[in-house]
Structure formats: structure tokens, C-alpha cells
Amino acid sequence: MAAPTDVHLDSAHKILRYIKGNPGHGLFYSASFQICLNAFADANWATCLDSRRSLTGYCVYIGNSLITWKSKKQDVVSRSSTEAEYRSMAHATCELLWLQQLLTSLNIKVSSNAKLFCNNKSAMHIATNPVFHE
């Protein structure tokens, strides 16, 4: 968005042609909810049998509507499931911060703080207690 090129414009035109050619398909975004960002992060520890790297996944919602998601192999090998989950939470947090800044720059008021959900208690303790880890 900072420095768009002709490639980006061509991609946007392809998307618009697709939407125009398929009027019955699409995603529904309700206008009846408050604008708040929620993210869910998860990781599978040492999923790749060759490299022993973990798999990160997260999805971000505005209200009840899914707006972005990602799944990718982590860049480094995690020593524990807690570390893998913590890395996943870090990636989701970066996405939340970027989206929050994007909404702010578009003059869209977010009704509450962004929330990040994770299912690993150890990773949540590390994230909430800076004395608990190095």
C-alpha cells in the first residue's frame, strides 16, 4: 500500500473482474457488529519430519467476519511446544498491529482493544509476565 506498482493494479483488476463475473459468490461482512479485531493463533510443534520446524497458523476477524489468515512453516526450529506457540502468537500480534494501524489510517474507529486467543497456557504465561522468562 505504501508504493503500489502496475503489478498491484493488474492484480486488483483481476479481482474486480472475478467479482463482477461471479455475482452470487463472495464473503458476507455484516454491518451490524462493532468493529473489533480478534485473532486466533496456533502452532503444531515440530510438524515437518525433515527439518523438525513447527507450523504456525493464525486467523484474524473484524467482529464476526474473517479478514485474513496465514499458515506457514516457522523460520527456526523451536525447542518446545511453548516456544512454537509463542512464535505463532508473535506473528499474529504483528498482523493485529498492522491491521489496527491500517484501520486508523483509513479513519475507521475500532471499538475495543484487539484480542489474541491462544490455547497454550505456558505461552500465555510468558506473554503476560515479563519476569517469567529471559
Domains of the chain: 35-128 (3.30.420.10)
CA nearest 122: which of 113, 134, 133?
133
- How does residue 132 score in pLDDT terms, banded at 50, 70 and 90? low
**What's residue 120's pLDDT?**
76
Question: What does the pLDDT look like over 57-99, one tens digit per residue?
Answer: 999 998 888 888 998 888 888 888 888 888 898 999 999 999 9
* pLDDT for residue 23 is more than 70: yes
What residues are paired with 117 via a beta bridge? 40
Q: Tell me the average pLDDT across 20-31.
A: 77
Read off the pTM. 0.72
Instruction: Give strand ranges (E) for the chain.
Output: 37-44, 55-62, 65-73, 115-118
